Amino acid sequence: MINSLRGIFLEMNRLNDVDYMKLAIQAARHGQGCTYTNPMVGAVIVKDNQILATGYHKQFGANHAEIDTLNNLKSIDQAQGATMYVTLEPCSHFGETPPCCRRIVGVGIHKVVIGQKDPNPVVHENGIRFLREHHVEVVMTSLSKDVRNINQFYNFYFENQRPFITLKYASTLDGKLNQIENQRSIITGHEALKDANQIRQNYQAILIGEHTLKIDNPALTVRNDTNIKYPPVRILLVNNASSIVDSQIVNDKQAPVLILCHENDCEIKNNNVEVVEGRWTPERITSFLNEKGIQSILVEGGSRVQSDFIQAGLVDRVINYISPKLWGGQSLPVAYSKMDKLVELNFRIEDVQQIESDLKITADRQEVPHV
C-alpha cells in the first residue's frame, strides 16, 4: 500500500514531454534579437527523467540549438540513448553550420521530440525524414501554439511568402495623427513613446514615407542599453532620393538604410545606404522585401502610407497608442488618402494596456490574405 502510494507520488512529480518542451521554449527565447534572420530555437536533453543539458541558438552563424545543447553535456557519451526536445525541426542541410540531424544520429540520440516543423522549404520535413531513416524515433508535441509564437514572423514569412506587416501609430481619441500641418505633434506620454521605440527591435525593417521623414526627422533606431546586433533596416519611401540626401537618417550610419524612390538624381556613397528606383506600391514593396529575405516590417506612417497599406490589404497587426485627447477641426486623420477602394480589413483585439494616461491597443488580422 505504502509502496504503491509512493509510486503514484513519483509519477505525479515526474516531468513530462510538455514540461521539457516548455523548458526548451524558455531556452529558445534567450536568443531574442540575436538570431536574425534565423529563427530562435531551444533544446533540452533528457535521460532517465533527468535533464542532462539545455541549450539554444545564440546568434546567426553560431551553433544551432541542438549542437549547443550537445556541447553542454558533461560528456558526449551521455547522449547515447537519450531524448532530445527541440522547439524546431532539426536541419538536414549544410548552411552556415553542418546539419544538426547528422550529429544527432552520430551521438546516439534515440528519440527527438519536435515543437514544430520548420516552414523553411530547405528544411521542411527533410530533417524529420533523415532522423527516421536513421532509426531515431520522432514525436511532435502538442504545444504547437506556444512553440510557433517564438518565431511568429519567421513562420508567417515562410507560410505566406511575404513579410509580416505591422501598422504602428499614436493617435488622439478622435483618430488624429497631427494637429498642425508640416509640424510634428507629440501625442502620447513618455512611457508610451518608450514602448513604441522598444517595439522596433522585434522587426527587421521599419518603413516611413517622405512626409513623415521631413516632418519628424526620425532616427528610426532602437534606443536602449542593450546592444542590438541586427538593427532594423530603415526603409524610406520617397519620390526623389535627392530630396533626402542630407537628412540625418541617411548620414548617421546607425543602421542600414534602404531608399525606395521613384527617381534618383543623386549618388549616395554611404556603405549602409541602398537606393532602388521603381514605381513603388505596397504590393511591390512587400514582394521586393520578401525577395531580400525580410521577414517583418513595421510601418510607422504617415497617414497616406498607412492608407495605402490598408487599401492594399497588407496589414497583419495594428499597434495603436491612443492618447485621451480631442482635436477635431482639420487635424490630420489616421490612414487618410485620396484612394477610395472599398476595403475592410478585420482584426481581433489581442491586448489592451494602459500606459500612464495612454492606451495601447494591439489587434491581429483575422484572416491572412496571400499575395
Residue from 300, 11, 31, 8 nearest 151 by CA = 31
Of 20-28, 30-38, 122-130, 335-343, which part binds a copy of itself (CB under 8 A)? 335-343
Q: Is position 220 annotated in a ligand binding site?
A: yes
- Give the largest CA-CA distance in the chain: 88
Query: In the bound complex, what is the minimum distance in angstroms from residue 191's beta carbon to a copy of itself?
Result: 14
Q: What angle do CA 211, 203, 242 make, to 5 degrees?
A: 30
What part of residues 149-188 is at the interface with a copy of itself (CB under 8 A)? 167, 171, 173-176, 179-180
337 lines the binding site for a copy of itself (CB under 8 A) = yes
81 lines the binding site for a copy of itself (CB under 8 A) = no
**DSSP helix/strand/coil, 85:** strand
Residue from 127, 277, 153 nearest 205 by CA = 153
Query: How many angstroms separate the CA atoms of 352 and 359, rounded?
Result: 7
Q: Regarding beta strands 296-299 and 205-209, do their DSSP bridges make them parallel or antiparallel, or are they unpaired?
A: parallel
| CA 147, 153, 155, 156 torsion-angle sign | positive
Catalytic residue (choose from 66, 291, 344, 367)? 66
Q: Quick one: which of 2, 246, 328, 367 contacts a copy of itself (CB under 8 A)?
A: 328
CA distances, 200 to each of 124, 233, 251 (Å): 29, 10, 20
Of 19-27, 83-91, 114-122, 344-352, which part binds a copy of itself (CB under 8 A)? 344-352
Catalytic-residue membership of 344: no
Query: In the bound complex, what is the minimum distance in angstroms from residue 217's beta carbon to a copy of itself?
Result: 22
The cell 534602404 sits on which residue? 258
Q: Is position 30 annotated in a ligand binding site?
A: no
207 lines the binding site for a copy of itself (CB under 8 A) = no
Q: Which residues bind a copy of itself (CB under 8 A)?
A: 167, 171, 173-176, 179-180, 306-311, 315, 318, 320, 322, 324-330, 333-349, 352, 354, 357, 359, 361, 363
Annotated binding site: 64, 91, 100, 170, 200, 212, 216, 220, 223, 300
Catalytic residue list: 66
